[in-house]
Amino acid sequence: MHAVSEQSPALIRLRDYRAPAWSVETIEMDVDLGIDASEISARLQLRRDPAQQAPLQLDGENLQLLSIRLDGEQLSASAYRYDGTVLEVDGVRDGSVLETRVRVRPAANTALEGLYLSGPHETGFLLTQCEAEGFRHITFFPDRPDVLSRYTVTLRADRERFPVLLAGGNPDGAGALEGGRHWARFVDPHPKPSYLFAVVAGRLERIERDYVTADGRAVKLNIWAEADAIDRCHYALDALERAMRWDEQVYGRNYDLDVFHVVATHDFNMGAMENKGLNIFNAKYLLADPDSTTDEEYRHIEAVVAHEYFHNWSGNRVTCRDWFQLSLKEGLTVFREQCFSADMNSASLKRIEDVSLLRRAQFPEDAGALAHPVRPAQYREINNFYTATVYEKGAELVRMLAGRLGADGFRRGMDRYFERNDGRAATLEDFLTALGEATDTDLMPYLAWYAHPGTPRLRAHGHYDAAQREYTLTLSQQTPGSAGTLAPAPLPIPVKLALFSRHGDLLPLRLDGTPASDTRERVVVLAQAGQSLVFGDIDRAPVPSLLRGFSAPVILECDYTPAEMALLLAHDPDGFNRWEAGQLLATRAYENLRDGAAGDARQAWCDALARLFNAGDLEDALLADLLTPPGEIELAERESDVDPARIHELRQALQRVLAERLGADALEQRYRALAAQATIALDAPSQARRRLKHRVLELLQLCDNEQAHQLAATQYRSALGMTDRLAALAVLVRGQAAAGDQVLLDYRQRYASNALALDKWFAVQAQNPGKVALPRVMRLEKDAAFTLHNPNRVQSLLGAFVRGNPSGFHRPDGAGYRYLAERLVTLDSLNPQVAARLATAFNGWQRLEPGRCALAQAAIMELAGHAGLSRNLSEIIGTVLTH
């Protein structure tokens, strides 16, 4: 039995939802800002649901109540009750006005929720984070997403200490006050939920740009950062303008305020926050320059800037009725962001990136104790449900719907959804209804996808009848439900498919019972437990290509031969589908190696890749991805009694086989040819060359360690930007090269004052595989730049170790488990959200081999026995331990 936190809240269930008894028509806030103490006055115009007779109850935590007035009268102590969590007020009528004044302490707020200080006491600035339930740490309010109000916010502060004052909405006046103070007022004309409230105050610089929307509104775009970082915001500003124009063109959505502010901070629990008119960003997703930012980080910045902007409609103008509907805004917006990134870059490479992330992060989540539906049925702590399931799997479900309706149909459906729900708090049912009505399609069967945890399995078997010239493809599905049971009904699974001849040509699909056509790709929806498809006019047994474009988030089980997978890898015209065939073949090769079986799959994989490598006509970035087998986390998902060290050794051995097949001379020759074209440019071909160069250097290290280390050391010294420099550093550190310590020291000195670059320095060492990792991580904790108070720094060291280094974390002596448990206790007292996210590294411990399994269980049980754990951490640990 594990200890239960005194703060552990009651279970909240979707089925218990009730509309709010009290809403707030308008809220006027007067915020007197100070580092150690800030005072917030709030004036709420209240509306009562006539169908409910409940007393007025407002959420409020960590608030010092200074005064309370109802309809202009000061309330006596007997007229209200405040237990530290809920304020209940007597005598409130429909139309009443409640005024409160409270004090909060930003500098003492290490949880970074509500109003807090970013940076040192003397030079830092104040900001807020209110999603999901942070507004209750600022003032008393019905802090739930279905209470939409119009906000007027007036800020007052010392002008010298806080020269910049920002809040959501349009500016509505500013001026001087006595005593060197000043004020600024902001009015948001659009009703919004409390989680979108935002304030920023401090010494900040800005870059700005004038923008005119497609419907003619003049908008001032401002990006704010501290003085030493503002010059690194130009790429983000360009990305913002691209995102705004794309949303106008693709979805017909225009921005709706006169200003759009974006602020960078190094102290933030999340990636970014879409507060209406005042986005607040973790600096890692906003600041960029070639010397300290990798190509991958540039793409992530573009994507996150777009994601938060797209929320202006899919999240802000139309928000979610309750937190069970979180994927309605997040899954939908991730899908929109993914489509934008695909249009801005390479669609195939973006799809590879998205599916890789899904398999690396969401599939393991769905297979462990922390599995939950995209729309959970219940929760205790909502902050624990900002997960890969809600975001990435949620996006895949929207992608399925978009594929089902087609581009034109999906656009009509989205127009209907936005128009019908503008200014409302919506549900997934509202979303599916709008899409369905606009296209005359019943989409309600897809609601089952949102209700069931687990990753469905799609099984496929083909049979060719030479006499009838027919090919029969039999599909079946198995979908796990809660508690390991099967789902009560089959899910609709869209299977995009094609057939290839044995020469690698796409064949016309003459599906029995459908009109004859020359189409060579089609989508079949498997809505039953099993279904057989008969294709005619087939001269020879074809090779099926299934789930093209990853048309559904399932695990495919198909009786491919190695030769068939190699054929798809060699001939499929779509880059993603080629990669997918290569991943299937590489996995089969890994399993052959693991099981000591014949090497047919290894031979087929290596031969196919060698031909592609030597042909020289494949796009460089795609070739780099094709040369990379599934990662250790993905391979572990296919095993029971998981031994992470063994998986690491086998994957290394598999890559060594490939490297030797390609040959050291050929690898070095390709590397030198790519290095000769080195440039700092961000165009797609330049990024692709850097990507392939890194992969070639990694493979060369496996067959000619000394030469690879010499080339890496030279690359580090001559690198024009961070992509090449970090790639060289990683090769040297993970290869335990003699020059590794020296380049680490050089990097540490070069970027001593660059927090984001130092995060990469911590991470590359924390991800060094095997038993060397933990001692190094513990030494790095003593580095002057390390702190548990900064989420980015915690993730760069502890997060990189426990989530990005399976063979290092899952040590056979259990030291990694004990280390994490000890650090979680300390971290939980500072920042419960960050602690809870790190604790998810324990998910799936039951599938470890017996020795590691017992050691992990012991560490988790000891952690669970600590009294006073936060409700965030206690929920994660309790779920991991008892499921």
Spatial contact of 328 and 376, defined as CB atoms under 8 Å apart: no
Distance CA 462, CA 466 (A): 13
At 535, is the secondary structure helix, strand, or coil?
A: strand
Find where tokens 């500072």 sit. Answer: 830
Helix (H) / strand (E) element for 718: namely helix 705-718
Question: Can you say how many angstroms the Cα of residue 214 is from the centroid of all Cα atoms in its chain?
Answer: 30
Residues 6+ apart with CB under 8 A from 58: 86, 87, 88, 89, 98, 140, 141, 142
Beta strands in 501-606 (DSSP E): 522-526, 530-535, 543-545, 555-558
One-character DSSP codes across 244-266: HHHHHHHH-----SSEEEEEEES
Structure tokens at 624: 């780099």
Residue with tokens 């809040």: 167
Calculate the alpha carbon distances from 508 to 542, 570, 752 in Å: 11, 19, 60
- Is 308 assigned a catalytic role? yes
Q: Kindly state the helix (H) or strand (E) to which residue 23 belongs, with its residue range.
A: strand 22-32
Q: In the structure encoding, which two tokens stand for residue 583, read together?
A: 């991943």
Helix, strand, coil percentages, rounded to 5, for the chain: 45, 20, 30
Residue pair 116/64 in contact by the 8 Å Cβ criterion: no
Consecutive H or E run containing 501: none
C-beta separation of 27 from 152 below 8 A: yes
Parallel, antiparallel or unpaired: strands 181-192 and 149-158: antiparallel
Residues in the chain, how many? 883
DSSP 750-797: HTTT-HHHHHHHHHHHHT--GGGHHHHHHHHTTSTT--TT-HHHHIII
Scanning the structure block, which residue is given the tokens 């411990």? 845
**Among candidate residues 796, 795, 800, 765, the one with its CA nearest the CA of residue 779:** 765
Sign of CA dihedral 630, 633, 634, 637: positive
Q: With contact defined as beta carbons under 8 Å apart, do 281 and 272 qualify?
A: yes
Provide the token pair at 818: 């004990």
Phi first, then psi: give them for residue 227, nearest 5 degrees. -55, -35
Please identify which residue in the block is written with the tokens 């930007």. 721
d(CA 738, CA 347): 40
Q: Tell me the C-alpha distance between 234 and 624, whole Å.
A: 29
CA angle 98, 102, 105 (to 5 degrees): 155
How large is the C-alpha radius of gyration of the chain?
28
Q: Any bridge partners for residue 30, and if so which?
A: 41, 154
For β-strands 97-104 and 86-89, DSSP reports them as: unpaired
The phi and psi torsions of 395 (rounded to 5 degrees) equal -65, -40
Give the Cα separation of 701 and 448 in Å (integer).
Answer: 48
Annotated catalytic residue within 302, 308, 330, 564 = 308
* Residue 183: C-alpha distances to residues 24, 32, 180, 318 (Å): 25, 9, 11, 31
What the block records as the tokens of 279 is 């986005």
Record the tokens describing residue 448, joined without a space.
């089952």
In whole angstroms, what is the distance from residue 585 CA to residue 602 CA? 8
Three-state DSSP state, 17: coil
**Catalytic residue set:** 308
